[in-house]
Amino acid sequence: MNVDMTQALTILQSSHYKVTKQRKSLVEYLAQHKDHYTDVTAVDSYLRQLYPGVSHNTIYRNLKEFEEIGIVETHVKNDQMQVKYQCDYANQHHHHFVCQNCGRVTEIEMCPIDMSFFERQLPGAKITGHRFELVGLCAQCQKNAS
């Protein structure tokens, strides 16, 4: 088992969730796809092949719980929910560059957003978070396009 998976399972346990066969398989699957977002339907299909008796609701609930405790990140593409294995447990607040061609996800370490700018525009509102994502062509796809 790799370090990322061990860390994810430790987070699961420390968040008072049991490490079941299904959850471990879910972590293993997501760890194999950690540099791309994966459609939730693909995750669901994979797990239902391994465990035919597991329900869609159980899979989706586990993904939601994994998001809440920081094991996965979510993203919407073409009205389809996608998940990605968390790439940086030490710094859960981070952003991404997503290649529009190959789908590779690269972490951006710096947060460019000044929340006070938005707070001034939303008097009385409480901002609890944000997401920032850059899209374009990665260096390899840009090179291949030339």
Longest distance between any two alpha carbons in the chain, whole Å: 51
CATH number at residue 57: 1.10.10.10
Are 34 and 84 contacting, i.e. CB atoms less than 8 angstroms apart? yes
Domain count along the chain? 2
The binding site for Zn(2+) comprises 99, 102, 138, 141
Examine the domain organization and report whether 18 and 81 are in the same domain.
yes
> What pLDDT does residue 40 have?
93
pLDDT tens digits, one per residue of 68-93: 888 888 888 888 888 988 755 555 66
- Ranges of residues in the chain with a pLDDT under 70 are 1-3, 87-93
Domain membership of residue 126 (yes or no) is yes
> What pLDDT does residue 110 have?
75
The binding site comprises 93, 99, 102, 130, 138, 141
Domain membership of residue 141 (yes or no) is yes
Examine the domain organization and report whether 12 and 77 are in the same domain.
yes
CATH number at residue 134: 3.30.1490.190
> What pLDDT does residue 91 have?
57
Q: How far is CA 88 from CA 82, 124, 136, in A?
A: 18, 32, 22
Examine the domain organization and report whether 57 and 81 are in the same domain.
yes
Domain membership of residue 90 (yes or no) is no
Examine the domain organization and report whether 73 and 121 are in the same domain.
no
Examine the domain organization and report whether 80 and 35 are in the same domain.
yes
Helix axes 21-32, 40-50, angle to 10 degrees: 130
Structural domain that includes position 35: 3-85
> What pLDDT does residue 100 have?
85
> What pLDDT does residue 114 have?
81
Examine the domain organization and report whether 21 and 76 are in the same domain.
yes
Examine the domain organization and report whether 81 and 101 are in the same domain.
no
Domain membership of residue 16 (yes or no) is yes
The binding site for Fe cation comprises 93, 130
